[in-house]
Amino acid sequence: MGRVLHISCKNPDAHAGGVAQFARDLRGALGGKVGFFYYDNPHVPPWVLARRVNERFVSMGAIRPDDTIVADGFYGLGLAGKVKRLIVVAHGIYSALLDEQDAHPPASYDEVRPKFVDAARYQGEAFRECDDVVAVSRQVQKELRQYERVESDCILNGVDTEKYTPAKDGTGIVEVSGTNHKKGAPIVAAMRARGFDITPLGFDGDKWRRWQRYDTALLPSFYEGGQYAGLEAMAVNLKVIAYKTGIFKEDVPEDYFFATDVLSTDAFIALTRRAASKRPPLAPRDWILENATLALFSRRWVEKIR
């Protein structure tokens, strides 16, 4: 009987990113029966590395013809027609990110832009040559159609709502941008400079307990696919202030969060002041319970791979 293998860049058991979280949740959904392959070499472009290692593993028998592969973007390159089934997950679209980066360029962007162009090209190849594509939000599903002319299923990421429970006495504003330009670090820094007390979520201790310390989540990222931070903050029933991207673009109605489609410090300051005295009309956790629990994620992926 064939295996299910997940292929990505980082070790899912040792990394805190969204793709790693997805891989762990997929393993849980399939009763622990998912193997992890991960390839990371900072000196080789990941699309080159993925194709090279995948083809070598096929020739060695480490990846077998009866295996089902769930790959992150271009980490499925080199496997089309060589495995039982190749499913590529779109956690975001580099072609769409490229447009957003062009509109909101970071420092030294001219130096790194060619890498984004290459990433978009090879990611597009991976989407077009696989058996199935799964988008993690309706926004990504639309981008696949728009940029790559690829149809896909949409399976939202999920949250363990038995752990991520409502905060009872949390106070203050929390953010997850760090120093990441894409995640809105310049806006967070500008708001701090203007007197706002905003705390990083951090990495120590149980993640759900860290979210529960606060009552407001500030998420000014200008491009996301299916952001776990937004799902987790909503599951804990925080007031979420977010730019309309990822799940907040097409999936979550604006009655559940404080939304803006203007990426500016002033826009986020205005929403933060509004959120200080109000809540969204509808409870964010209710949307999670209907649409993005870990149980729903598991059921949909079991059906997909069956």
Per domain, the residue ranges of the chain are 4-154, 173-291
217/4 Cα distance (integer angstroms): 36
* Cβ neighbours of 146 (radius 10 Å): 12
Residue reference for tokens 């949740």: 25
Task: Give tens-digit pLDDT for 187-232.
Answer: 999 999 999 999 999 999 999 999 999 999 999 999 999 999 999 9
Amino acid occupying residue 43: H
Does residue 1 have a pLDDT over 80? no
CATH of segment(s) 173-291? 3.40.50.2000
Q: Which of the 8 DSSP states describes residue 168?
A: S
Q: What is the pLDDT of residue 125?
A: 97
Intrachain domains 4-154 and 173-291 with the same fold: yes
Task: Give tens-digit pLDDT for 67-96.
Answer: 999 999 999 999 999 999 999 999 999 999
| CATH fold group of domain 4-154 | Rossmann fold (3.40.50)
113/102 Cα distance (integer angstroms): 9
Reported as type and span, the H/E element at residue 272 is helix 265-277
